[in-house]
Amino acid sequence: ERYFAGSAILQGKRVLVTAGGTIERIDPVRYITNDSSGKMGYAIAEEAARMGAQVTLVSGPTALPVPKGCQLVPVKSALDMREAVLSRLDASDLIIKAAAVADYRPAVIEPQKIKKKSDSLTLELVKNPDILQEIGTLKKEQFVVGFAAETEKLDEHALDKLQRKNCDLIVGNDVSQEGAGFSGDTNAVRIFDRNGLVEALPVQSKQAVARRLLEIAAARMKPKR
């Protein structure tokens, strides 16, 4: 259900949200991944749908139900997520990249289970493509929101990512702070644009963070021609 008629601030907008962590396979029974519950991205998708948007949620594996009114595109690896996102770029007005994408993947996926032999094992990892950075290069009219998960120097690192990846907004998330970060139901974030801090949101539900973030993005999006 919608809140009320006046809150449909994303009516007619096509919103693409990425959420969850990607998993990068080592062999048929093992993988590496990032800490991520997917809750922040799912909250954004759910709230965007309640605001009237047509929402596509590209998500790594999570334990969460599909948010009401959203179309789920399940993915596993960063390479899968890249394909799912880039193929939908032109059909999106607002892109919000809350996913915890693995920065590296195993250089080879072993076709058979790796057997334990020697006392140590070295895995070779190769860098994954930066999906957000590619979006920043390819985007036309789309409004792009990135996330920056940091454990120190939040403002500096977040602003640096915003510039490097050509985002319109970046959501700085101090994941070492009490009440913020991946697993809980609350978050505290600092939202930046090119000129610096736009708004600091104190610890509150991920639902409330999602709502405020979407309000800020909606207010800055170009009206449709």
Contact string 102-141 vs Ca ion (x = CB under 5 A): -x--------------------------------------
Point out which span in 110-118, 141-149, 188-196, 208-216 binds ligand CTP (CB under 6 A).
Answer: 141-149
The identity of residue 85, as a single letter, is: V
Among Ca ion, ligand CTP, none, what does residue 132 contact (CB within 5–8 Å per kind)? ligand CTP
Among 146, 181, 190, 217, binds ligand CTP (CB under 6 A): 146
Point out which span in 37-45, 146-154, 176-184, 216-224 binds ligand CTP (CB under 6 A).
Answer: 146-154
Q: Does 132 bind ligand CTP (CB under 6 A)?
A: yes
Applying CB under 5 A, the residues found at the interface with Ca ion are: 103
